[in-house]
Amino acid sequence: MSEVKLFGAWFSPYVKRVEMSLNLKGVEYEYIEEDLKNKSPLFLQYNPITKLVPALVHNGKPIFESSVILEYIDETWEGPSIFPKDPFDRAMSRFWAKFVEDKCSDLLWKACWSAGEEREKAAKEAEEGLTILENEIKDKKFFGGENIGLVDLVANYIALWNPILQDVVGFHVLTQDKFPNISKWADEFCNDSFVEKYMPEKEKVRLWLKRAVETGSLY
C-alpha cells in the first residue's frame, strides 16, 4: 500500500496544483483518477464531507481542500517550498492566493458560464480583480519571485484553463491587450519546464470544456 495517495480528476486545476506541489518535494504517491459522475466507495469513505477532489491520503489519513493540502505538503516534507520563510511574506502569499481565487479565477469562470446582466457584472468584477493582479505581477517573473510559489500554483487556472474556456464560449475578459503582464506571466508559467509536466494537454481541455458547454455538465 502506498503511503501517499492522491485522488484527483485530470482536468481539475485544484488537483494539478497539488500534484505540482508533491512533485516539487519529490514525494512518491499513488494517483487515483476519480470518475466524478460515479465516485468510488473508497473515495467517498475518505472524503464524505466535501466529496470533491483533490483528496490527499497520507498514511490512511485523508486531507481535503487544495489550500489545506498545499499547507500540509509544505509542513510535512522537506525540499523546495512554495511558501516563503518569513511570516509576513507568508501572510502576503496567503492573501494573494485567496485574492486570485475569489477576485479573479472564480469571477472569470462565472463570466464565461453566465449570460446577460450576470455575465456583464462578473466580467466587470473580474476586470477589477485582474487590474490589481496586473500591478502585482508587474516587475516579477513569477508571483513567487524568481521561482514559482503558492500564488503561481493557485493562479494556474488563469494561465491555462481560462484562455481555453474564453475561446470556447467566445467571451474574452482576460486579453493580452488589457492585461499584458498577466499574459506574459501565463506564458512564462505554462512554458516552465517543471510546470508543463503537470499541466493537462490543452487540446484535451478544449474538448472537455467544449463538451461541458454543449451538455451543461462538467462531468
Partner 1 sequence: MEVRLHGMWASPYVIRVIWALKLKGVKYEYIEEDLSNKSMAVLEYNPIHKKVPVLVHNGKPIVESAVILQYIEETWPDRTPLLPEDPYERAMARFWIDFGQQKSLTFFAFFLTSEEDKHKTAAQVLETLKILEEEALGDKKFFGGNTINMVDLFFGWLTYSFGCMENISGVQVLLPETLPRLHRWTLDFKQEPVIKENLPDSTALLEHFKRVTKHLKSSNKFKPA
Give the residue with the Cβ less far from partner 1, 115 or 132: 132
Which residues have CB under 8 Å from 25's CB, separation 6+?
A: 73, 77, 78, 79, 80
Give the residue with the Cβ less far from partner 1, 94 or 172: 94
Give the residue with the Cβ less far from partner 1, 63 or 174: 63
Q: Least Å distance between CB 4 and partner 1?
A: 13
Q: 4: number of CA atoms within 13 Å, CB side?
A: 16
Give the residue with the Cβ less far from partner 1, 99 or 185: 99
Q: Least Å distance between CB 132 and partner 1?
A: 6
CA distances from 45 to 10, 12, 50, 120, 183 (A): 21, 21, 11, 41, 41
Q: Least Å distance between CB 63 and partner 1?
A: 5
Give the residue with the Cβ less far from partner 1, 35 or 102: 102
Contact positions vs partner 1 (CB under 8 A) = 49, 58, 61, 63-65, 67-69, 71-72, 75-76, 87-88, 90-91, 94-95, 98-99, 132
Q: Least Å distance between CB 106 and partner 1?
A: 12
Smallest Cα–Cα separation from 12: which of 149, 152, 160?
A: 160
Residues 47, 55 contacting (CB under 8 angstroms): yes
CA distances from 91 to 75, 88, 101, 150, 195 (A): 15, 5, 16, 11, 24
Q: Least Å distance between CB 102 and partner 1?
A: 10
Q: 21: number of CA atoms within 13 Å, CB side?
A: 31
Give the residue with the Cβ less far from partner 1, 106 or 192: 106
**CA-CA distance, 27 to 49, in Å (whole number)?**
26
Q: Least Å distance between CB 213 and partner 1?
A: 22
**CA-CA distance, 163 to 72, in Å (whole number)?**
30
Q: How many residues does the chain have?
A: 219
